[in-house]
Amino acid sequence: MFLKSLQLKLIFVFVIFIVIIISGIGIFSIFKIEQVYYTGFVDEMLNNMYGYNFNVKGISESEKDSPTLVYGPAKKKKVEIERFYENFDIYFSLNTRTRYGTMLDANYNDILDDAGHKLTDNALKCIKMAEDSPHKYAIYDDGDNFCYLFAYVLETEEAEGGKIIVLVSQSKAYINKQLNQIKTMYMITIIVIIIITIIITIVTARSITKPIALLTNKAELMAQGNISLITVNDKKNVGYEIAKLIDTFNIMMQQIQNNMNDISSEKNKIETILMHLTDGVLAFNTNGRMIHANLAAKKMLNFEDERTFDEIFNKFKLDVNLEKIIYLDDWASTEQVISLKDKYLNIFFAPFRNEQDKPTGVIVVVHDNTKQAKLDDIRKEFVSNVSHELKTPLTSIQTYAETLIEQEELEPEDKKRFLKVILAESNRMTRLISDLLQLTKFDYKKVAWKKTKFDLPELVKQICEKHKIQADKKEQLLECYITSTVPAVFADRDGIEQVITNILINSVKYTQEGGNIKVYVGAVHDDAYIKIIDNGIGIPKEDLPRVFERFYRVDKARSREMGGTGLGLSIAKEIIDSNNGSIDIKSEVGKGTEVIIKIPTYKPEKK
């Protein structure tokens, strides 16, 4: 968040840059000073040791007057050791303030001072390092702010224990003081330079960021849709390059405004078209991510949260692959058919490309073919049923006619019986063809309905009287009841009579001998109703939704035996619907059937 501002970025970068440079110089300088001090101390110690004629073998007598340390088994007195020790102090610049030194025997005891100071742990470490070193000397840094330790081992057979150890301690107080002063100087320098850098950077950055901020404000207005309000007139105190940028920005905004108007118009057109399409349309990018789906597609494929190609289509187990559709020429387009519950869907897949002819995604079009598929099934079933219905009576007619021709010696009674069969089958074909013609007129809206005002109870009574003889033959009790005052109805009287007659004939036909058939006529709200109830064989529950389909029979063998065509209820449904009424059937196997027909009552037109 802090570095989002260009001005702050410039300040931050320059300050960090200066701090890094100065800090690097300071660290390098401090390191070099410490290194020089350290190197100087080591060189001085080594030069002094070698200048004192010490070597790895012991003490040599390069001069006649040079002191010699002699230790023997009999512990002889030291020869001129006092003089040697005095020269050691002077030669190594020993003092009690910055540099302290001592000479130790093999047991780390002071040679001259029996009450010598106790060696520190770091001094013992330095001595051990010198003893283990092939050069027989070692330097040890005793902490950051304390001292350097120098140890040198003189090996000689004349000394007790075979060696003498020189130990020198150099205090770091002086160099630390110098380094602290240098650090302080560097800190002050860094602070001053940072302040100067910030001032210079702010002044420089403002000259750059001010016009940029102006353009940013204009761009924000453009993002909010206020393109027509954007004009840049404030070009004062800006350089030539910024002024040129502002002019270019104005031209760009004008072009963007024109393009956006065109894009918005096209977008609205496409969205309107897609929204009102009955076919589903989906679009996916090359990664399989859905970028568009209209409402029809969501309803057809029944998805909500799915957002990828695989999530939507894998559940249908389709043999489709997004990469093949996009990149393989053989898959320029493909079609799949799926069955989803009671729907039949045709799905088309096709890639789409950009202006450079590169594939950018896949378009999927979903077409609901349910109605066409059902119509095809109905057509096939209709043709099959008609063929079967016509074939049966024709076969009977052909058989009996051939028998009459071939057997001339038939008895008159047999001939008469055969002719009756031929006549019955002919009448059956006539009824079938008549029903088919009537349904064809319904399909093509060629029925001229003669709707009039008439008395429904009177019509129902007449129909019951006509079929009472048939009911009496089967010893059935056919009763008609008028339950209330029934207003006149407005419908096609002949059509309503055909419907009631058809339903009543079915009740008589499918009710066993000695059964009961009751017909009720009444009114409810704005409708008159006819309710026909019998205690016949009934209709299975699973067959009730299909009883109004053409040629559908609950028991095909019994229906054909009783002379039915399988079209009666279909015709009844068409007539009632055309007269703005309704027909409903309730039934239970072995208990009977109840048919309710509703017809709208007459309503005088208001003048």
Instruction: Report the C-alpha gap between 448 and 83 in whole angstroms.
Output: 153
Q: What is the mean pLDDT of residues 104-116?
A: 74
Q: What is the mean pLDDT of residues 352-377?
A: 80
For position 314, which CATH number holds? Answer: 3.30.450.20
Contacts of 129 (CB under 8 A, 6+ apart): 138, 140, 151
> Quick one: 510 and 531 in the same domain?
yes
Within a domain: residue 129?
yes
CA torsion 282-288-291-293 (nearest 10°) is 20
Confidence of residue 14 (pLDDT cuts 50, 70, 90): confident
What is the layout of strands, in order, in the sheet containing 334-340? 290-293, 280-285, 359-368, 343-353, 334-340
Q: What is the mean pLDDT of residues 49-68?
A: 44
For position 556, which CATH number holds? Answer: 3.30.565.10
3-state SS string over 70-96? CCCCCCCCCCCHHHHHHHHHHHCCCCC
Within a domain: residue 337?
yes
Please tell me the pTM assigned to this model.
0.43
Measured CA distances, 23 to 14, 17, 20, 150, 198 (Å): 14, 10, 5, 32, 17
Report the pLDDT value the prediction gives residue 48, as an integer from 0 to 100: 76
Instruction: Report the C-alpha gap between 68 and 58 in whole angstroms.
Output: 10
> Quick one: 284 and 363 in the same domain?
yes
Within a domain: residue 464?
yes
> Quick one: 435 and 351 in the same domain?
no
Report the pLDDT value the prediction gives residue 20, as an integer from 0 to 100: 82
> Quick one: 473 and 430 in the same domain?
no
Confidence of residue 2 (pLDDT cuts 50, 70, 90): very low
Least-confidence region, from 8-22, 173-187, 551-565: 551-565
> Quick one: 537 and 496 in the same domain?
yes
> Quick one: 359 and 378 in the same domain?
no
Within a domain: residue 287?
yes
Contacts of 402 (CB under 8 A, 6+ apart): none
Beta-strand runs (E) in 415-515: 451-454, 477-482, 489-492
3-state SS string over 271-331? HHHHHHCCCEEEEEECCCEEEEECHHHHHHHCCCCCCEHHHHHHHHCCCCCHHHHHHCHHH
**pLDDT of 139 over the 90 cut:** no
> Quick one: 455 and 534 in the same domain?
yes
Within a domain: residue 485?
yes
> Quick one: 519 and 536 in the same domain?
yes
For position 402, which CATH number holds? Answer: 1.10.287.130
> Quick one: 527 and 569 in the same domain?
yes
Q: How many domains does the chain have?
A: 4
**pLDDT of 60 over the 60 cut:** no
**pLDDT of 57 over the 50 cut:** no
Q: How many CB atoms lie within 10 A of CB 416?
A: 10
Domain final residue pick, 368, 398, 420: 368
| DSSP code at position 544 | G
pLDDT in tens, 541-583: 888 888 888 777 666 544 555 555 667 788 888 888 888 899 9
pLDDT in tens, 264-313: 788 788 777 777 777 888 888 888 888 888 888 888 888 877 888 888 88
Domain final residue pick, 336, 368, 400: 368
Beta-strand runs (E) in 307-431: 334-340, 343-353, 359-368
Within a domain: residue 10?
yes
Return the structure tokens found at 280: 């589903």
Within a domain: residue 162?
yes
In order, the DSSP letters of 488-520 are -EEEEHHHHHHHHHHHHHHHHHTS-TT-EEEEE
Q: Angle at the Cα of 49 (from 43 to 53), degrees rounded to 5?
A: 135
3-state SS string over 146-182? CEEEEEEEEECCCCHHHEEEEEEEEECHHHHHHHHHH
Structure-model confidence comparison of residues 171 and 237, the more confident one: 171
Report the pLDDT value the prediction gives residue 598, as an integer from 0 to 100: 92
Domain of 347? 277-368
> Quick one: 570 and 510 in the same domain?
yes
CA distance between the termini of the chain:
78
> Quick one: 390 and 362 in the same domain?
no
In our burial notation (b when 16+ CB lie closer than 10 A, e otherwise), range 360-399 reads bbbbbbbbbebeebeeeeeeeebeebbeebeeebeebbee
> Quick one: 485 and 547 in the same domain?
yes
Contacts of 433 (CB under 8 A, 6+ apart): none
Within a domain: residue 336?
yes
Domain final residue pick, 155, 179, 203: 179
Structure-model confidence comparison of residues 282 and 52, the more confident one: 282
